[in-house]
């Protein structure tokens, strides 16, 4: 059995309370990775095009409130 399959099998065998704890932990780790990637992309200028698009839309009067 591959390592990931073994992990999946063990997760499926967890009691509901432990599964909920694992799900919360996993979600938190996922958000932490997302935050780090977003910060890195921002620092690298990869999202600058979004700012430029927003400023252009504002200058053209086509910027809409969310």
Q: Distance between terminal CA atoms of the chain?
A: 49
CA–CA distance, 28 with 34 (Å, rounded to integer): 10
Tokens of 16: 């509901």
Domain range summary for the chain, segments of one domain joined by +: 16-60
* pLDDT of amino acid 14: 98
Task: For residue range 5-61, list pLDDT tens digits in order.
Answer: 999 999 999 999 999 999 999 999 999 999 999 999 999 999 999 999 999 999 999
Task: Give the model's confidence band at 1: pLDDT under 50 very low, under 70 low, under 90 confident, else very high.
Answer: low
How far is it, in rounded angstroms, from Cα 34 to Cα 37?
Answer: 5
CB 39 within 8 A of CB 46: no
């Amino acid at each position: 059995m591959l390592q990931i399959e073994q992990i999946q099998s063990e997760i499926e065998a967890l009691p509901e309370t432990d599964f909920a704890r694992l799900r919360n932990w996993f979600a938190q780790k996922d958000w932490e990775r997302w935050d780090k990637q977003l910060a890195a992309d921002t620092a690298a200028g990869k999202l600058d095009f979004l700012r430029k698009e927003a400023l252009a839309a504002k200058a053209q009067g086509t910027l809409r409130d969310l």
